[in-house]
A = this chain, B = another copy of it.
Amino acid sequence: MSRVGRQTFVYDNPVEIASHVSYVGPKEGKGPLAKWFDVVLEDDLMGQKSWELAESHMLTQCVEQAEAEAGLAKGSAQAFLSGDLNDQIIASSFAARAMQLPFLGLYGACSTFVQALVVGGALISGGFLETALCAASSHFCTAERQFRFPLELGNQRPPAAHWTTTAAGCAAIRAGKSKGGLRLECGTIGRVVDLNITDANNMGAAMAPAVCDCIARHLEDTGRAPEDYDIIATGDLGWVGRNILMELFHRRGLKMPDEVLVDCGASMFYKEQDAHAGGSGCGCIASVSCGMIMKRLEAGEWNRALMVGSGAMLSPTSSMQAQSIPGIAYAVAVGRNE
């Protein structure tokens, strides 16, 4: 419960990850990270009447599985922290309705999963909750319809555009410290940074400055170096945004080893899958964290990871009004107990 520096706090009373579950769609299930996901959907409509209901259903299944794997009776978790890209976060609120759980709706665009871990970890470490389900989702078809064009139009996509991942991730967290288990060490709340990018097809560029600011602040607050992490996983900068981030680090005089910084969006698809700059969406870092990252930490392959969620805080209305895109980022450090 101690505070370190301006934007970071440490979870002194131990918080551990009791379970973690990742769901992805068919396209993501053919990408380089396929083997790490728990469930690959065969049909991304999941038998529902609309893409929006499908996304909410995917999220519900993912969260219910995480609750069960954490050894919790159905509906007994003390809080559900979640958000998504749909207007008024209906994928999450409809999932909360299905599960009848006390609900905290969050919105940090594609950073929402990490935001949920940062806030949920504090509520547990502070003694306010004993268990919480931290989650986020996104769906290619809901995001395309809402932010860009109806799929049926078959619009061309510019090279800097992202492919919104169809994915959900949920980590059940609780008070405690099991031998060999994963613990939340500390969390950093980012600031909104806006360097005047107005192109909604270049979200990597819009988010990179906020990610740079958040990581630099996290390292300064904690006195850690990039090498103290086996992996620093950014959310969904894609190839374009990752290159800009490395340039921003360089200008700031922060030495970031190329092999430490992995972008979840840039890693989600093979080049041949035609996803351009890479994956995006709240489900991107959520599914990669709950899949590959937490599994490699548990296996002892890695000892400590920093997950950095990044969000582009635009809306269709703000884009139409020619507003620039504010970026935000949150960071949470996860280690393995002795």
Bound-complex Cα distance A93 to B323 (A): 12
The answer on a CB contact under 8 Å between B107 and A3 is: no
A120-128, A160-168, A265-273: which one contacts chain B? Answer: A120-128
Interface size class of A (residues with CB under 8 A): 35 or more
Bits for A145-166, please: 1 = Cβ < 8 Å to B, else 0.
0100000000000000000000
Q: What are the 5 A-B residue pairs with the smallest beta carbon separation, nearest first?
A: A126-B126, A93-B313, A88-B315, A1-B127, A102-B189
- Counted per complex, copies of this chain come to 2
Q: Find the B residue at minimum CB distance from A126.
A: B126
Q: Does chain B have a CB within 8 A of A72?
A: no
Which residues of the other chain, B, contact A79 by a CB distance below 8 angstroms?
Answer: 189
Bits for A294-338, please: 1 = Cβ < 8 Å to B, else 0.
000000000000000000011111100101001010000000000
Given known contacts A126-B127, A326-B93, A88 and B107 CB-to-CB distance under 8 angstroms: yes
Which residues of the other chain, B, contact A190 by a CB distance below 8 angstroms?
Answer: 102-103
Which residues of the other chain, B, contact A125 by a CB distance below 8 angstroms?
Answer: 126
Given known contacts A122-B122, A127-B3, A128-B122, A52 and B317 CB-to-CB distance under 8 angstroms: yes
The answer on a CB contact under 8 Å between A194 and B97 is: yes
Name the residue among A50, A100, A318 with the largest chain B CB count within 10 angstroms: A318
Determine chain A's interface SS by DSSP, over half rule: mixed
Which residues of the other chain, B, contact A6 by a CB distance below 8 angstroms?
Answer: 78, 102
Which A32-66 residues have C-beta < 8 A from chain B?
49-50, 52-53
Given known contacts A127-B2, A127-B3, A313 and B90 CB-to-CB distance under 8 angstroms: yes
Task: Select which of B3, B52, B119 is within 8 A of A119 by beta carbon.
Answer: B119
Bound-complex Cα distance A130 to B102 (A): 26
Contact residues of A with B, CB < 8 Å?
1-3, 6-7, 9, 49-50, 52-53, 78-79, 83, 85-90, 93-94, 96-97, 100-109, 115, 119, 122-123, 125-130, 146, 189-194, 313-318, 321, 323, 326, 328
Given known contacts A49-B321, A103-B189, A189-B104, A313 and B88 CB-to-CB distance under 8 angstroms: yes
